[in-house]
Chain A
Amino acid sequence: MAASDAGGHWPLELIGLRKRFGPVQALAGLDLRVGAGECYALLGPNGAGKTTALNILLGFLQPDAGTARIAAVDVQADPDRARRNLAYIPEQVQLYPRLSGLENLAYFHGLGASEAMADASLRDCLRQAGLADAAYERRVHTYSKGMRQKVGIAIALARRAPVMLLDEPTSGLDPEAAFELNNSLRDLAARGVTILMATHDLFRAREVASRIGILVAGRLQQEVDPASVGGAELESLYLAAVRDLLGRAS
């Protein structure tokens, strides 16, 4: 179950987060805390506010109200320091197509590190991310989406950040790649990494997450322990939450 550190700090914490885009209330007081070694899946339909929440955690967006903290650092007050504790895998991992997977990893890791990582360590990160050895030195323009996603994971692994954010990580991945991704995430969580994953893939979320939050209209409607519900039950809960809120709205 979720836990804070000895000082009462949570690796990832959202308190009363509100964000409005013109007439649309994207976040309406989101409260969320994710503990060390926990993998939290934020489920929700399109426009529920998942990506907005991630963008605020990344420091890309300023909330209208509320606080976002990464490793006890207020993201709005010190976004650079907050980002140092963060690894991020976007929905579409875009890399430099003329560099190989290994070269992209060295480049992106190099951006945030004062010293270059040894070649063996870089290869180790790619291996952990599940990329086949033969692909390491192939240029990325020959990669599938799943392979790029794995390089994205390797970049996140190489960063050795205590918190990892993923935006729709299984979107567009074939079942095998999605399975491998889930294995990687489980490994990371086992090593104490805090993971927040925005998704609408109920099946994958149930497989990998230790907690699932159902976000609708910018508010956390329900939290579910995936170990205690079956796939069908989770789907019913999700649809009920969505229909209930959308029904009320209409």
Chain B
Amino acid sequence: MNSAVVRGEVRLLLRDPAVWTVLLVLVVTLIGAVIQGVLRKHAEIAVFTEMANADAARLESATWDAIRLEEQGGNVSRFRDPRNADVVGRRLAVQHLILPPTGLAALAVGQSDLHPAWHPVSLEPRDQLLAEGELNAPRQLAVGRFDVSFVVVFVAPLLLLGLLAGSPARERESGILPLLAVQRGRLGGWLALRTGLRLLIVLLPILVVGVVVAWLPGPGPLETAASETWLRLGLWGLAVAGYLTFWAALGVWMGTLALDTARAVLALAAAWLLLVILLPAIANVALELSYPQPSRIEYVDAMRAATDLARAEGSEVLQQYLEDHPEMAGDDVDVDDFFAQRLLVQARVEEALRPLSTAFEQQRQARARQVRWLRWASPAMLTSEGLADAAGTSESRQADFLQQVHGFHDAWRDFFGPRVLAGRPFFDHDRIPTFEYSHEPPTRLAARMAVVMLGCFGLSVALGLLALRRARSLPKVMGNE
């Protein structure tokens, strides 16, 4: 085989109206998805910036107010006093912890429509804060999930299969195959060339879009570093290539099995329906049956009961609690003080709820484990998760962020708790803990992505070998027809 064949294939592609239709559909959907993704990301960063600025302004104002009140005196309610540690820790110094979007966040909504990318941290109970943070989720769900990942996982395989059009069944049907077989002998190389060129037609625009999105200047300092963006882009590109290679290999293999184009196309459409729509739906049902989502209502009921109990038990039980947890305060705690009592009731409630929240967490982890297994049922699920991971909107990055939020919440309480219980005026505004997002090590992300790529490329190689084997016997199949 020589360059004349490559030139011939390129000419065939350039003169095929189907190629231009595919390109038009692909480019239009990609542009739509990118615009939506970039707008979403910019809007998100605008909200983050506003939050960060508001947090900083509120704290600065509280700091100056505390100094002014101390120096100049004046009447102010204890519920608004910037020298009250409870007021500062619960309201004035509230920090919104932000999961910074990656440079590729515009490519995949991922789990970001279910899990908020920020959490306010204060002296309020952890679960209440998380519930407040989820308020944004329904709005984002209403926007939908049309993104570049959707184009890659759902649309691109259809376009690629349309371009392959059941080849080599099409050549067999049109009668070209005998001449090809005599000229070439083994048809494996010819099939690989044809398939590879058609794969590139679909793959290249998607990769270009990835580069453009990574290249676009971020709207502020809240984004992740550029070096991380390029690493993520590389992994994202490989995941896209792996997924589309799988579809190309599947398309050719089925094309070698089918006797005519109609049967080949029908079989491929059925495969797309099964792998992209049905199996993920079945996996969801299996997940719900084996590990049902914990009941939030049950949790809220238990929280209310524990709160009522703690309040009814009054200061005696709280005194006992303090004896069990001497780290919460020194000897000068006034348990009858409203703020101290509120903090202790809160701690008591959280302790009472711990078995339930542990059970919730275990259930969540069991679901996550199940999802990790179920995604192997379909390359579409595997890739969808991988693309979200590369774009930084995956479940694992969210879980890692939540872990950091919980850690910071603990540090917050460790800082404010003793000061609230002591009841002394608070002037440590400049010593309040500040959150800094700790980026995931690239090796961990690469290891997760390697699993996705291994899955897709492994399947592609297996299907490709089957197709080549079948292509070798194609002339014989023709002779028997």
Contact = CB atoms under 8 A, between A and B. Distances in A.
A60 interface: yes
A159 B478 CA distance: 22
Interface string B366-409: 00000000000000000000000000000000000000000000
Nearest to B475: A60
B476 A62 contact: yes
B3 A116 contact: yes
A96 B182 contact: no
Given A106-B8, A113-B2, A116-B3, A60 B183 contact: no
A94 interface: yes
Contacts, number: 97
A194 to B, nearest CB: 15
Interface residues of B, number: 30
B190 A111 contact: yes
Contact of B4 (A59, A79, A117): A117
Nearest to B189: A111
Interface stretch (A40-48, A84-92, A174-182): A84-92
A109 B116 CA distance: 61
User: Majority SS of interface residues in chain B?
Assistant: helix
Interface string A67-97: 0000000000001100110111010111110
Interface string A102-127: 01101111111111110000000000
Given A60-B178, A92-B175, A95-B176, A80 B3 contact: no
B325 interface: no
Identify the interface centre among B8, B176, B478: most chain A CB within 10 Å of its CB.
B8
B8 A87 contact: no
Interface in B321-362: none
Contact of A108 (B174, B180, B476, B480): B180
A27 B83 CA distance: 106
A107 B5 contact: yes
B15 A112 contact: no
B476 to A, nearest CB: 6
A109 to B, nearest CB: 7
Nearest to A86: B182
Contacts of B184: 111-112
A56 B5 CA distance: 27
B428 interface: no
A98 interface: yes
Contact of B1 (A86, A94, A99, A110): A110
A129 to B, nearest CB: 14
Contact of B2 (A79, A96, A116): A116
B185 interface: yes
A93 B183 contact: no
B24 to A, nearest CB: 19
B481 to A, nearest CB: 9
A59 B475 contact: yes
A90 B175 contact: yes
B181 interface: yes
B480 A61 contact: yes
Given A55-B479, A60-B476, A108 B179 contact: yes
Interface string B170-204: 00001110111111111000100000000000000
A152 interface: yes
A83 B179 CA distance: 11
Interface in A111-154: 111-117, 152
Contacts of B180: 108, 111
B181 A60 contact: yes
Contacts of A90: 175, 178-179
Contacts of B15: 98-99
A155 interface: yes
Contacts of A108: 179-180, 183
B326 to A, nearest CB: 85
Given A80-B185, A112-B184, A159-B183, 14 more contacts: A56-B479, A58-B479, A60-B476, A60-B478, A62-B476, A79-B475, A88-B179, A96-B8, A98-B12, A98-B16, A107-B5, A110-B5, A111-B1, A111-B5
List the 4 closest pairs (A to B, CB-CB), nearest first: A60-B479, A110-B4, A107-B8, A94-B175
11 contacts: A56-B479, A60-B178, A60-B476, A62-B476, A83-B185, A88-B182, A93-B179, A94-B174, A103-B8, A103-B11, A111-B1
Interface of B: 1-5, 7-9, 11-12, 15-16, 174-176, 178-186, 190, 475-476, 478-480
